Homo-oligomer: A and B are copies of this chain.
């Protein structure tokens, strides 16, 4: 006889990410209750009645919602969040709830059809029974599961999200300052510029508030943005002074840091450029 499946409650379950996970759990045969400002069930009712309580609200609201609902989660249950920052939310969950606690960050957007191959970062803060359940669930769905401490997560995201979005947004802003017509640039483009501008343009097509929260609320973004600023300043100075030797050294230092990844990068980008050209311009 099959064991009874735990009930799932998603706070913010009418949002994009929360909705994605509601459908994910329903497909897997779970009973899912969702709550948000617009549902008849209140967040408190859902938090009290579910075995697994998942917080999926905007970054800036995450700690306040945890503080309000954490004490209501069953002692034998699981409190988990899905936000892009882990240090503060996990600390808040640990201090507010008596339940098991896991911080989780799915590294994919709600546009994907499945979790297959997608990175999901798990910070198992106070968990035993539920961690085994979550790991099995994610692995069965084909996720690329990665464990990290909340601090490791936030430091990594300060680069993967913070520094990446920073440089892309600034790049597009500079296109505006230079009054570069995008269609004109696409006419003259190299494949590398075209593909990179697709990535930058994609970032500028996302929710500005989410991106503001990532830049302003991740405590380690300051450090990565400063490192990027310093690198940009040094390279700009080298170009200003037309110092070829300094340019070659700077380029060489960055290339050396990437090591063999450069070869993989060239191979993978060759393939992607072919795919892009195959679709026509």
Binding site for B on A (CB under 8 A): 107-108, 111, 116-119, 121, 144, 146, 148, 153, 156-157, 159-161, 163-164, 166-178, 180, 182-193, 195-205, 208-209, 211-212, 215-216, 221-236, 239-240, 242, 244, 247-248, 250-259, 261-266, 268-272, 275-277, 279-281
A250 CB to closest chain B CB (Å) equals 6
Q: Bound complex: CA of A168 vs CA of B167, how far in Å?
A: 9
Known: A176-B257, A225-B239, A257-B176. A185 touches B201 (CB 8 A): no
Q: Bound complex: CA of A203 vs CA of B196, how far in Å?
A: 11
5 more contacts with CB within 8 A, not counting A146-B187, A178-B224, are A156-B188, A164-B196, A173-B234, A195-B272, A212-B244
The chain B residue sitting closest to A256, CB to CB, is: B176
Copies of this chain, whole number: 2
**A157 CB contacts on chain B under 8 angstroms:** 188
Point out the residue from B167, B191, B222, B250 that lies within 8 Å of A171, measured CB to CB: B167
A224 CB to closest chain B CB (Å) equals 6
Known: A257-B175, A279-B271. A248 touches B209 (CB 8 A): yes
Known: A156-B184, A175-B159, A201-B261. A166 touches B239 (CB 8 A): yes
A173 CB to closest chain B CB (Å) equals 4
The reply to whether B222 and A240 contact each other, CB–CB distance below 8 Å, is yes
Point out the residue from B180, B196, B202, B216 that lies within 8 Å of A239, measured CB to CB: B216
The reply to whether A199 and B269 contact each other, CB–CB distance below 8 Å, is yes
Q: Bound complex: CA of A272 vs CA of B119, how far in Å?
A: 17
Q: Bound complex: CA of A180 vs CA of B204, how far in Å?
A: 25
A209 CB to closest chain B CB (Å) equals 7
Known: A244-B216, A272-B275. A228 touches B170 (CB 8 A): yes
Q: Bound complex: CA of A280 vs CA of B163, how far in Å?
A: 25
Point out the residue from B107, B211, B257 that lies within 8 Å of A190, measured CB to CB: B107
Known: A167-B167, A227-B174, A257-B175. A190 touches B251 (CB 8 A): no
The reply to whether B253 and A119 contact each other, CB–CB distance below 8 Å, is no
Point out the residue from B107, B116, B201 that lies within 8 Å of A265, measured CB to CB: B201
The reply to whether A189 and B202 contact each other, CB–CB distance below 8 Å, is no
**A268 CB contacts on chain B under 8 angstroms:** 198, 276, 279
